[in-house]
């Protein structure tokens, strides 16, 4: 499992706690070139416009770029990068129950963990404000069962 990030801020956390084998800063051209044609798939969670070519170049033959970050601008990429490597670009807002189970099983097999912050329903507005400020590491999980929904 390789983590690609825009800075070194999460390196220790990714390698020591989340189960990553390798960590690469996306602006490190030399390291990105070393990874060229080596990955089977990339789960892209970047929620803002970004060039896809640097990530497509990392995919091996039949590699998949899976977009999970919602971007409200048209995608731009050079089509030969997709065609020559038989690469594909796909995405999903949310998976089916079967896909979720497969993803959880994959994480279990690879020893991957996630960092979450559990919040109650009455904290939703504050959570949304914090999301807008990028003040959450890494995801909120809403505890519906433990929330008072009668208010």
The larger pLDDT score, comparing residue 71 to residue 82, is at: 82
Are 42 and 66 spatial neighbours (Cβ–Cβ below 8 Å)?
A: yes
The whole-angstrom separation of Cα 100 and Cα 140 is: 17
Q: How far is CA 46 from CA 66, 73, 142, in A?
A: 11, 13, 22
Distance CA 6, CA 51 (A): 13
Q: Under CATH, what is the fold of the domain 2-113?
A: Rossmann fold (3.40.50)
Span 12-19, average pLDDT: 89
Residue pair 26/3 in contact by the 8 Å Cβ criterion: no
- The residues that bridge with 143 in the sheet, in sequence order, are 120
What pLDDT is stored for residue 21 in this prediction? 93
pLDDT one-digit tens code per residue, 64-80: 999 988 888 888 888 99
Determine contact, residues 98/121, Cβ cutoff 8 Å. Answer: no
3-state secondary structure of 147: coil
Pair 26, 51: CB distance under 8 Å: no
Tell me where in the chain the CATH 3.40.50.720 domain(s) lie: 2-113
- pLDDT value at position 64? 97
């Amino acid at each position: 499992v390789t983590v690609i990030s825009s800075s070194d801020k999460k390196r220790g956390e990714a390698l020591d706690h989340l189960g990553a084998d390798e960590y690469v800063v996306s602006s490190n051209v030399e390291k990105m070139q070393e990874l060229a044609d080596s990955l089977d798939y990339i789960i892209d969670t970047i929620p803002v416009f970004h060039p896809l070519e640097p990530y497509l170049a990392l995919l091996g033959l039949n590699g998949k770029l899976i977009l999970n970050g919602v971007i409200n601008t048209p995608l731009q990429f050079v089509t030969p990068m997709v065609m020559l490597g038989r690469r594909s670009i796909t995405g999903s807002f949310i998976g089916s129950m079967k896909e979720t189970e497969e993803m959880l099983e994959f994480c279990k097999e690879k020893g991957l963990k996630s960092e979450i912050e559990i919040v109650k329903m009455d904290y939703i507005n504050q959570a949304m404000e914090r999301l807008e400020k990028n003040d959450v590491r890494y995801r909120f999980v809403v505890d519906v069962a433990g929330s008072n929904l009668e208010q």
